[in-house]
Amino acid sequence: MTTKAMILASGRGERMKSLTRDTPKPMLKIGGITLIEDKILRLVESGIKDILINVGYLGDQIISHVGDGSKYGISITISNEGDAPIGTGNGIRKIIDYFDEKPFIVVNADIWTNYLFIDLSEKLSDDALAHIILVNNPSHHDGDFSLYEQDVIAGNDFTFSGIGIYKPKLFGLHNDKELGEILKKEKKITGELYRGLWNDVGTPERLDQIRKNLANN
């Protein structure tokens, strides 16, 4: 079973406008809980014991908020990338030794979902280098991939959710800056469509809508 995960939390969140002027995007709250802590708790519930979080813009706030992980009963390690973005692919490649050549989960901090991460551990086949979770295209997105049975192929039928499990080998085979670019190039990627709750917290309007939906349920 996979016991290590990474939360991608280094983005500047520029589309959030004034909301992220003095606050990093992963520290925004939905339902009284920060985006970053929501991901930590969901990963812990699935059996993850070690989480690495990459931080950048205003990262000290995240570091202070999550601590060393002891309050969650796990270990948290920080990869501080500085204020200049280095890209999601480079961010993972920078700390790849942390995963001891074993599969690991990666999740974007800036999504809101009820996906059960425990399901991921059994989804990565011997032949695949990654297994990613796709969702139906939201109105603001034109899609990233298509599926043929369980194989991820070129197309735009579905949107990448920001959730996946990866073998470290994948990041040695490709030197692309962004994770999405790597996934589009590599042929040995499997995936599945998730039909549960998922939202990309990309703009103030989307954040407000998620908060309203949560308050009404």
CA neighbor of 147 nearest in space, from 138, 137, 139: 137
In angstroms, the CA 66 to CA 35 distance is 11
pLDDT band at 69 (very low <50, low <70, confident <90, very high): very high
Tokens 């280095």 found at: 86
Domain, as residue range, for 44: 4-216
3-state SS assignment for residue 7: strand
In angstroms, the CA 144 to CA 191 distance is 12
Instruction: For residue range 88-128, list pLDDT tens digits in order.
Output: 999 999 999 999 999 999 999 999 999 999 989 889 999 99
Torsion of CA 14, 199, 43, 35, to 10 degrees: 40
Residue type for position 2 = T
User: Based on the structure, what is the number of domains in the chain?
Assistant: 1
Instruction: For residue range 185-217, list pLDDT tens digits in order.
Output: 999 999 999 999 999 999 999 999 999 998 887
CA neighbor of 135 nearest in space, from 124, 147, 121, 127: 147
Query: For the whole model, what pTM was predicted?
Result: 0.97
CATH of residue 9: 3.90.550.10
In angstroms, the CA 175 to CA 98 distance is 18
